[in-house]
Chains A and B, each alone.
Chain A
């Protein structure tokens, strides 16, 4: 930021108090949320009075319009996410190269609308870790209830709310956005770009997330109880038989989904148009490939879950009958639309992790990625096949029976590109010079856990086996092997791997390793026995179960508390290392990708000079090979990247 920068958020003439109230920030966010909420309230009441709909004060539509739609818009407007666009729209003076909201000099800058992809990356990661902890605590409450058969601590509505909100937070507020946060930080750096293509859109995408998370959590305090129909929200249970809390889920998904779509568009445009000179598609790091393919999935699939949640909410609030068979609706329609997103969502939650693991394994094995092009192509194959497998979630649903065998074949085939990736990582490690730093441990943990999750996935792909284990604890075990053993392990790998680059400090390696071993052991003790109780006959989503499963469930619950404790080691390490860790060099892992060519943390605009990409990002062991050289900047390119 330079002295010549005009701060457009504040009118130069405004006085102190006026600036305090009217300037973009938390004060304005507060009163604008209230104002917008009041507007929404008035709108509903006015329309109901005008149409003579009794009762005029009906809480479901009032809460929906005022609290779940208008207030968040007011919050975003007050915080200043729309300021630049609003000025542009009404013809006020704007400056294209206004960098007033870019970069962070103090911790306060992280609580503002910031357009720096690195700041936004940190905002994402910290926010998602908060929701990870909250979601984890909900899981521990679920395990406390399940430690013994019968119901002990929670009534059925609360218990069903616990596991429903646990899953929604972990999926929509942790795994998906944590990957978006890591990619937000790493992708522009890896491309040699100064920022994302649309920095203001990027800022808006982030600020939608806390709204979604708070909405889902606050459904616990809504009269009638939390939404309690599972994160899948099947109609007609969720659309017509649930208290108001269900609408908090419907709307929470909309905000998180909108965030996801905007970020994905941003990644696509950034990756397609902002690669440094010489960075051809076949020279992109696999993390960039992974986020490119993930973004394709998000942009194509996420509108479907938005549709399913809108229809479900309309059935609930406006008494439409999309999924209400009593009035001509089709209950299975919900599942088809929902899974058309939510199966690709499994890959949205996995492909970025594949990217992280590719980076980590290449660097810590000191070897080029084995079969780089096939690795990239298998990502594309997963994208294409990923859209043709959704009905494997519906083998027992009563859908058209002929759909089962074709969907089984595509489901089994998708194991092939996934297998290619696993074998290629193993071949990358073969004959390498392996170092077992924490990121590498988590990558290897991922590899072994994901093999188990993938193999149980093949079992589930076989229709007759799926019919037996559908909706049992076997499914719970499978998804945790894939999403925890898979996704969460790769998120930890990525957080440790880029921690020096993000914070400029090194984390404590001993605590990192302790965190890994506690997580790895705790994870397996918690989730492996679930395969067994599921196969033997314990259904999922029940607070009460047959006494014969008592001892195994007690074991699982005790193990899960240990697993929960391991997170304390992680938090302690992250917080103390960020404050007092040793200063990190610019390239602690001796990586070749572009983010390691700049300082830790990187300068505000990433590169003082435009990098010239000259080769593959993984040329370890090739004498004299380079991925990129930092060439002296040419005059024309200075304008393009707007270095101040």
Chain B
């Protein structure tokens, strides 16, 4: 080491590290956690960030000093000193990074193990993913199905995923937990929500044309409110042919992700506007009821002008029960007439 180099090296390093630390601290990097798992990931994140900032500052210091100090004069054609290496130094910069990444590995493995460990009294939710909708069903409430994920605060939740068509991925940024849903296999994810609120559920694996709109909400409720909801819901789907049941089917299958329907308050633009069903049926030359039913069961039979084939999943015909389908058709017809 050259005499006189240490002070400027430390100076540059402190400045570079200070700038990096300021960027790390001033910007809102991670969303405010809403689960115990996220709360464990945050300290790990900062642990790794601190190591990264130290390494970045050290490299910047050496590089900055080198660039300033060892610039050749324009008329200086001489070579530098023929230093071929230094075994001690090479051992040091092999060992220190090895120790640092080992430390990161150990801490990460501990966090991972603790995040995967289920608590007592686990709430199981079966999650079904399909193009381009989520549905959540609660075995505790005899398979009550919902298009939004409602969870009680401070209870261990095990999400069990199935995919009907292609790979999707479940992510709630505030929970910091993510899991792909894979057709043909069952995947699982553990979450312990610990903050009340409404958070976005985002599909993060490209799953087709409606990928960007494959979203819903995760609502964390107090345990009492959750229980009330869980046991108050069962009645709605049970009453066939009522518009309440149709609205529930519409919501649970996330039709609104792609379609606009004023009655349901949705504004999706991937598929045709469902407030204009009557006009479309006329264009297709079919009675309204048949047209609506066919468009759900076999969406490629007639595609509205300006929209592409094979965008709407053809799986609803088998996914919906006859009762649900009837309720949905009635709901769509009555809602579109109002609109």
Report which A residues bind B (CB closer than 8 A): 151, 155-157, 160, 224-225, 228-230, 234, 236-237, 241, 243, 325-326, 329-332, 365-368, 370-374, 396-398, 401, 404-405, 408-409, 412-413, 415-416, 419-420, 422-424, 426-427, 429-436, 444, 447-448, 451-452, 455-456, 458-459, 461-465, 467-468, 470-472, 532, 535-537, 539-546, 590, 619-622, 625
Contact = CB atoms under 8 A, between A and B. Distances in A.
B180 interface: yes
Interface of B: 2, 27-31, 37-38, 40-41, 44-45, 48-49, 51-52, 55-56, 59-60, 62-63, 66-67, 70-72, 76-86, 89-90, 93-94, 97-98, 101-102, 104-105, 107-109, 111-112, 115-116, 161, 165-167, 169, 171, 173, 176-185, 187, 200, 202-213, 269-270, 308, 310-311
Given A157-B308, A329-B184, A536-B31, A241 B179 contact: no
Contacts of B184: 325-326, 329-331
Contacts of B169: 396, 470-471
B182 A332 contact: yes
A368 B84 contact: yes
Nearest to B37: A464
B7 to A, nearest CB: 16
Contact of A423 (B93, B105, B108, B112): B93
From B2, B161, B167, B169, name the one whose CB has the most chain A CB atoms within 10 angstroms.
B167
Given A371-B90, A420-B90, A621 B81 contact: yes
Contact of B97 (A416, A535, A621): A416
A532 B80 contact: no
B82 A537 contact: no
Contacts of B173: 468, 536-537
B70 A537 contact: no
B178 A430 contact: no
B142 to A, nearest CB: 27
Q: Give the dominant DSSP class at B's interface.
A: mixed
Given A470-B204, A537-B202, A432 B80 contact: yes
Contacts of A409: 105
9 contacts: A331-B183, A365-B70, A398-B181, A405-B112, A431-B83, A462-B104, A464-B44, A537-B200, A620-B82
Contact of A447 (B63, B183, B202): B63
Given A156-B209, A408-B108, A619-B82, A398 B182 contact: yes
A463 B202 CA distance: 20
A621 B80 contact: yes
B206 A408 contact: no
A487 B104 CA distance: 27
Nearest to A239: B166
Given A368-B84, A426-B66, A537-B31, A420 B44 contact: no
A462 B106 CA distance: 9
A431 B2 contact: yes
A625 B82 CA distance: 11
Contact of A471 (B27, B79, B185, B205): B205
Contacts of B77: 590
B71 A412 contact: no
B72 to A, nearest CB: 4
Contacts, number: 263
Given A331-B182, A367-B82, A372-B85, A229 B101 contact: no
A536 B182 CA distance: 25
A224 B181 CA distance: 27
Contacts of A241: 165-166, 208, 310
Given A156-B211, A432-B80, A464-B41, 14 more contacts: A241-B310, A366-B80, A368-B82, A371-B85, A416-B94, A426-B59, A430-B66, A433-B70, A452-B56, A459-B52, A464-B44, A536-B29, A546-B200, A622-B82
B115 A464 contact: yes
B81 to A, nearest CB: 6
A417 B321 CA distance: 58
A564 to B, nearest CB: 24
B40 A464 contact: yes
Contacts of A467: 41, 176-178
Contacts of B311: 156
A322 to B, nearest CB: 12
B98 A539 contact: no
Given A433-B78, A470-B204, A374 B85 contact: yes
A434 B66 contact: yes
B83 A367 contact: yes
Contacts of B29: 532, 535-536
Given A367-B81, A458-B48, A416 B183 contact: no
Contact of A470 (B48, B108, B178): B178
Contact of B70 (A237, A430, A468, A539): A430
